[in-house]
Amino acid sequence: MNAQVETLLKEQVNKEFYSAYLYLAIANYYHSKNLNGFGHWFEVQAREEQEHAMKILKYLQDNGVMVKLEAIAAPEAEFSDTRTPLLAALGHEQYVTGLIHAIYKQARDSDDFRACQFLEWFIAEQGEEEKSTSDLIAKFDMLGGDAKGLYLLNAELNNRE
């Protein structure tokens, strides 16, 4: 494996676990506001982020790379209102998309074709995650303006599997 790709993938393991941690912090915030459906939505998101981290870890293991696990940074936990965490989540997904693209570019530029193929799944996944978070913001903006709309959206989000 290309050494720079290896370094970036190792760092990405930590960043995916950080993403899980950030979404758990957001879930905690929503539970504290009695918006348990939003909390559930972000707990599912956090689980997916852990799966991303494990997927990269497994790829590195399968390619003979030993990964030293680093400390996970503490995420933001206070938000000014119930819309702000949604914007934070979208901003974070866009940031992660940039990271994945940078790793892909490094893999492509160094002819690491196996890494390119591995990363294609993540490129598609980032597109889906940006869309699902944008969709959630759009729904919030349509429904979240009054208590009844927010209640209905919260109930809908509880159904996410």
Given the complex with ligand FEO, which of 10 and 52 has the nearer CB atom? 52
Given the complex with ligand FEO, which of 43 and 93 has the nearer CB atom? 93
What's the rounded Cα separation, in Å, for the pair 142 and 133?
14
Shortest reach from residue 56's CB to ligand FEO, in Å: 9
What's the rounded Cα separation, in Å, for the pair 146 and 6?
49
Question: Is residue 40 a contact point for ligand FEO (CB under 6 A)?
Answer: no
CA end-to-end span of the chain: 36
What's the rounded Cα separation, in Å, for the pair 31 and 158?
12
Neighbour tally for 54: CB within 10 Å? 13
Question: Contacting ligand FEO (CB under 6 A), which of 10, 16, 17, 115?
Answer: 16
**H helices within the chain, ranges in order?**
3-32, 36-62, 84-109, 113-143, 147-157
Question: Contacting ligand FEO (CB under 6 A), which of 27, 88, 129, 150?
Answer: 129
Given the complex with ligand FEO, which of 13 and 150 has the nearer CB atom? 13
Say if CB 13 and CB 67 are below 8 A apart.
yes
Given the complex with ligand FEO, which of 57 and 150 has the nearer CB atom? 57
Q: How many residues bind ligand FEO (CB under 6 A)?
A: 7
- Dmax over CA atoms of the chain, in Å, equals 54
Shortest reach from residue 92's CB to ligand FEO, in Å: 7
Given the complex with ligand FEO, which of 92 and 150 has the nearer CB atom? 92
The amino acid at 15: K
Contacting ligand FEO within 42-81 (CB under 6 A): 49, 52
Shortest reach from residue 44's CB to ligand FEO, in Å: 12
Q: Which residues bind ligand FEO (CB under 6 A)?
A: 16, 19, 49, 52, 93, 96, 129
